Structure 1
Amino acid sequence: MRVFFNFANDTFRWVDVLRFPLPDPAPDDRAVLAFLIGHRLYGTGYAGGEPGGDPGRHGRYKRECITVESFEPVAADAAERWLRGWSVQWAPLAAAISEGLEREVYAPLRAAGRVFRLRELGDQAVHDAGWLLTEFHELVLLDRAAGALVLVVAAED
């Protein structure tokens, strides 16, 4: 399931949420991240196409440059504070967007047993049109109890 939030407040910011079924039984964290990176829907440049529509890209990056080691664990409360601050950094959000983010991002973030952040991968990993995303942030929420794997991308273009 995919949910897309266009802030539509002249900031060119948006959040994309994509849910994946967690393999059963859920493998270790590294295997879950490898599953995500290898999933057909992970291939998208977020330039207007559907998930899976750009298999060689993921956001700003050449997909081949993203590995399990590209992710680092982060505390859910720190990730939530950062994302809340980022989302209103330049302009307030409409109530419907705030409510949607609470339901689709913040509540799952608090419920996740593990949260990972995609590190900045450097200029060598940016694809030829990657400059279009002036900001690109990614969180992976792993909730084994709910059997959920949630990809949250927050970006500005």
Structure 2
Amino acid sequence: MTQLVFDAQTFLNFRDYDFTEHGGHGYRWVDVKSFRIPQDTQDSELLTALIAHEQFRDDYAGGGVEPSGTRHGPYWLKHVTEHSYQLIGKAEALSRLRDWVDQHGPVPESLEADLASQVFAIVDSATSCYSLGDLGSKALHDWGGVHVDFHEYVAVDQERLLLRLVVAADD
């Protein structure tokens, strides 16, 4: 089985930025988990390895990673498979993220700069990008509806041998 090596995590909490002259933070945040990947590995194998990785067992609601957990974001882990992800163009992923960021109006320049370098650049440099689809209400775990917005992208960069899991949500 393909092995991913967890490398780093970046967390951008919109509440950490000064929104006094802007629309508001909306209790939003972006979490980026970075993994080193083996050379010449098919994207389908990488998605399967990501789902099997303990860092994927995160409910993104303050509990953090639970190595033997059964939740991923709003879903029961058992419902998330490699087929839950759709290949999406980088432009479409960037547009969706941009719409989510701008939904309450402009964001502070410092947040915009951090998003540009730590989120948008990751998606833009990917050799392929996947979006987690809506798995339906039957896949939601017992309190899975806590997020109003939950967006998840997997940015694969075969040239740099990196996979990044990008989750943009609110709480």
* TM-score of the aligned structures, taking structure 1 as reference length: 0.94
User: Which amino acid in structure 2 is aligned with residue 3 of structure 1?
Assistant: T
- Work out which of the residue numbers 54, 61, 64 in structure 1 matches 2:75: 61
Residue of structure 2 in register with 1:87 after alignment: 101
Partner Cα distance (1:54, 1:18) in 2:
18
Identity between Structure 1 and Structure 2 (%): 34
Moved more, 118-127 or 105-114: 105-114
User: Contact (CA 8 Å) 2:131, 2:152: kept in 1 or not?
Assistant: yes
Residue of structure 1 in register with 2:27 after alignment: 12
Structure 2: where are the runs of 5+ without partners? 1-7, 16-23
> Structure 1 segments of 4 or more deviating over 2 A?
49-54
User: Contact (CA 8 Å) 2:155, 2:163: kept in 1 or not?
Assistant: yes
Cα deviation, residue 54, structure 1: 6.7
Moved more, 9-18 or 109-118: 9-18
Residues 124-135 of structure 1 correspond to what in structure 2 (within 5 A)? 124-135=138-149
Residues 6-45 of structure 1 correspond to what in structure 2 (within 5 A)? 6-8=13-15, 9-22=24-37, 24-45=38-59
Identify if the C-alpha distance between structure 1 residues 103 and 54 changes in structure 2 by more than 3 Å, giving closer, same or farther.
farther
Query: How many residue pairs are counted as aligned between the two chains?
Result: 156
Are 1:77 and 2:91 matched, yes or no?
yes
Cα deviation, residue 104, structure 1: 1.2
Cα deviation, residue 51, structure 1: 2.9
User: Contact (CA 8 Å) 2:132, 2:152: kept in 1 or not?
Assistant: yes
Structure 1: where are the runs of 5+ without partners? none
Larger Rg over CA atoms: 2
* TM-score of the aligned structures, taking structure 2 as reference length: 0.86
Partner Cα distance (1:85, 1:53) in 2:
33
Give the match's secondary structure for 2:112. Answer: helix
Identify if the C-alpha distance between structure 1 residues 149 and 52 changes in structure 2 by more than 3 Å, giving closer, same or farther.
farther
